[in-house]
Structure 1
Amino acid sequence: MITMRKSGQTTLSALALFFAQSLTPVSAAEITVEQVLADVVALASDNTLGRAADGDGIKIAEQYISEEFKAAGLQPFFGQSYLQGFNLFHYQADPFSVAINDTAISPEQFFAVGSADNVDWDQDNVTITRIEKDDDFRAIVTGLNSRGENSLVLVDSVHQQLFNGFANYLKSGTKSLTKRNGNALVLVLTDTQEISQLSVKGGFTQQQVTLNNVAGVLKGKTRPNEYVVFSAHHDHIGFQGETDSGTDTIYNGANDDASGVSAVINLARFYRAMENRERSILFITFTAEEMGLLGSEYFGKTINADEMIAMFNIEMIGKASQFGPGKMWMTGMERSNLGELLNRNLSEPLKQSDYRIEADPYPDYQLFYRSDNASLARLGVPAHSISSTQISNDQDYHQVSDEISTLDFAQMTDIIKVLSHVSQPIVTAEQTPKRIQPLPARSQGYFF
């Protein structure tokens, strides 16, 4: 029986009290506010430095998740290790200079993207493309990105807003799971029509880093090659400036997505104590979600998607939804019957309640495509994200204010308990959700 409690927000003083007290050990199957809180504190405190995927602090989080998976009795999913390592290539533009007709172009009027070690162009050794005032800026740039050829792009000033948007998006460079082809794309905002002289000089610095997904598995008794997946992302966006400057510069990501990782860990503890697991259960936390779902994309390339029966991707459950504390919503509910099955599983234990898992109330945000569930949904897996945060008015999203003290741990714990209940018939193989229509592969551009 699931007990729904009145919601209450955890304050910093409550955190201090929690750590000052000695806790009585709880059953592995019992999901408690105290344990949920302890997990979030371990993941989202300042010492993890905002968990940037290519930073140092994330290693602390990965070690914690690995140790908790081991303590919960999970076996490593990737051979002998809980970590699935993969390479990420980061290309950052060095200082570029652009001169047209002997006039230097202001750095605010151009940007470069690519992977070439050295760029040294004049009007005779580069293709020049024009985006006129009546042209479709996005379509032309997308086409250039898909072809991957060296190109100088002259953009009419009528497109300044879109130009500035792309420049801002790409200012921190580009990241890829594969090594790029060594070309470059340089866009210049100018109304110049005739070019008699041209000079474009610069290049890109390449950095290669190893990132890690973290995963453990509880093998099923009768269907070990069928997997129910619980996932979240353990990375966030790091910090800006000096961490000892006296001002808050760390993007702790307590809600996004230490809350989801805590749910995955607690569900692992819960299911370890459940005996009638017919299907295997995969518990995985992804890296580089904030870089464009790169961790889950890589994972999707390494599995047999037909073996993945369902995916519960848990994203930002630390705050009460518009439907009430302890209630959740699910992205892409219309794409499979997983939501229908889960709500059917709710009817008996909560028959005195109006509790139900709701459809995504923010369709304009296209959230189904913006979290790690999308990487498996594209392969046909019934993969959805579970959330509770009111994303349309959350003032802490991707801000340094996404702190532990802003989370509602009582309602968060209730959500995890509900998930532990409604997912059981899928784990025991009493239910099998319908497959999702596979989505088109994501465009793999040469530049971004």
Structure 2
Amino acid sequence: MKKLLISCLLIAVNTFVFAQKVSPKFNQKEVERIISTLASDKMQGRASFTPYIDKAANFISTEFKKIGLKTFNNSGSYLQSFKMVQPKTIKTIATWNQQPLNENHIIAFTSRPELKINETSGYEKVFIKASDNFFTVARQLIPGKKNCLVMVDSEHAKKFDRLNYLKEYLFKSENSVVFVLTNEEPKTFSIEISHEIKELKLANVVGVLPGKKLKNEYVIFSGHYDHLGIEKPINGDSIYNGANDDASGITAIISLAKYYKELNNNERSIIFVAFTAEEIGGFGSQYFSNQLDPQKVAAMFNIEMIGTESKWGTNSAYITGYEKTNMGEILQKNLKGTNFTFYPDPYTEQQLFYRSDNATLARKGVPAHTISTSKMDNEPNYHKSSDEVKTLDLTNMNNIIKSIAISAGTIISGKDTPTRVDASQLK
């Protein structure tokens, strides 16, 4: 009887130890359920500012709640809401050193219906010189952290009008930034602009898995949940479902949240965020990034378009901005012994590092990269109504999500910390 009890005890101990070593599984049926919901015709392409993107946000929120994630900053809601404005210029009257100023030489970024300023208004004067990178400087000023009068050297005349593309949607702000194409600093000036202002609402979806010993250090997993909505019909289909772009990324985020919650050993806190409005300017990631201290973010995994095979086939993906930090090296080290490979971005001429939701935090020095498999030189369904679940390789996609989870392990545990991006070298 005594020997029997000892044997049973040993079996129980071995079973417990084995159970402790077994990681949670990634269920392909769950992957299919999530992506099929997000990319269904019922979501109508998840365009920003439509009821359908709200429907998608509610679905993601429900998934986060089922998993048991906390809300960001204990807000009580997974929705991180913010406002945008859409200004339409109605009338412009201006003088510069008491001479009429061409209205085409003025572009104002403002939330005010009526903007009237002159030399006594207290606007800070900023100069964009001929030798400056025009859009780099302009992007730094446009968030409207203070009132600015920006004088743009005439060498940038051919680029000046392109500022209007950045003006279609603006964050709601009390401050205004006025660009004037001129080489002459004014002693006196008067600018009066009337706008029709339309206020719009957006929301990111954010869930948090608090860390243990390093709970004030963060690892971010992100993707964008918006797409193009209803567009010009192709073969009779006008719904641009965005299955690969980027319901695949959001499916990965939800799957990873469930995995790390079940694993329950993350030393660093993990933030899972589904960004809105990526397709119209990356506004969701811009807003989110401004709510964080970038020095506390150890790494950001932005996941976009992982539903198709990469140019190297299955069991592979690429990392944008691979050379800017050693994060890719860490991920590949953690995958030693597997058949999965992370490659550097093969499409550097397309500037993908700057075109996705990783860019805002990367510009603040965070090792923030996008993981993708999309063949950007030959992805047949990109931004088309044919981007549907049936075109994706869900088995490979499930393996990619699993590989991301494994490769991020030492960063989440705090054992590894990627080197920072040299923000001074970014565009």
How far the C-alpha of 1:148 sits from its partner, in A, is 7.1
TM-score normalized by the length of structure 2: 0.74
CA contact (8 A) 2:108 2:177 kept: no
The SS at the match of 2:263 is coil
How far the C-alpha of 1:183 sits from its partner, in A, is 6.6
The residue type equivalent to 1:344 in the other structure is K
Q: CA RMSD in A?
A: 4.0
Alignment of 1:45-444 (within 5 A): 45-79=40-74, 80-93=76-89, 117=113, 166=162, 169=165, 173-178=168-173, 181=176, 204-240=195-231, 247-348=236-337, 350=338, 353=339, 355-439=340-424
Mapped partners of 2:174, 2:47: distance in 1: 21
Counterparts in 2 of 1:141 and 1:365: CA distance versus 1, 3 Å = closer
CA contact (8 A) 2:320 2:352 kept: yes
The residue type equivalent to 1:76 in the other structure is T
How far the C-alpha of 1:253 sits from its partner, in A, is 1.2
CA contact (8 A) 1:78 1:215 kept: no
The residue type equivalent to 1:84 in the other structure is Q
Counterparts in 2 of 1:169 and 1:421: CA distance versus 1, 3 Å = same
Partner of 1:122: none
Partner of 1:130: none
How far the C-alpha of 1:68 sits from its partner, in A, is 0.6
The residue type equivalent to 1:67 in the other structure is T
Mapped partners of 1:250, 1:318: distance in 2: 19
CA contact (8 A) 1:177 1:294 kept: no
How far the C-alpha of 1:211 sits from its partner, in A, is 1.2
The residue type equivalent to 1:401 in the other structure is S
The residue type equivalent to 2:257 in the other structure is A
The SS at the match of 1:228 is strand
CA contact (8 A) 1:93 1:112 kept: no
Mapped partners of 1:300, 1:345: distance in 2: 28
TM-score normalized by the length of structure 1: 0.71
> How many residues are treated as equivalent by the alignment?
368
The SS at the match of 2:301 is strand
Counterparts in 2 of 1:140 and 1:295: CA distance versus 1, 3 Å = closer
Structure 1 unaligned segments of length 5 or more: list them. 1-26, 97-108, 120-134, 187-200, 443-448
CA contact (8 A) 1:378 1:440 kept: no
More strand per residue:
2
How far the C-alpha of 1:406 sits from its partner, in A, is 1.7
Counterparts in 2 of 1:239 and 1:185: CA distance versus 1, 3 Å = farther
Give CA-to-partner distance per residue, 1:48-67, whole Å, 9 cap, x none.
22212222111111111111
Is 1:38 aligned to 2:29, yes or no?
no
Mapped partners of 1:378, 1:140: distance in 2: 14
Counterparts in 2 of 1:246 and 1:91: CA distance versus 1, 3 Å = farther
CA contact (8 A) 1:93 1:173 kept: no
Structure 2 unaligned segments of length 5 or more: list them. 1-21, 93-103, 116-129, 182-191
Mapped partners of 1:174, 1:214: distance in 2: 20
Is 1:29 aligned to 2:24, yes or no?
yes
The SS at the match of 2:212 is coil
Give CA-to-partner distance per residue, 1:181-204, whole Å, 9 cap, x none.
497989xxxxxxxxxxxxxx9954
CA contact (8 A) 2:108 2:176 kept: no
How far the C-alpha of 1:81 sits from its partner, in A, is 1.2
The SS at the match of 1:209 is strand
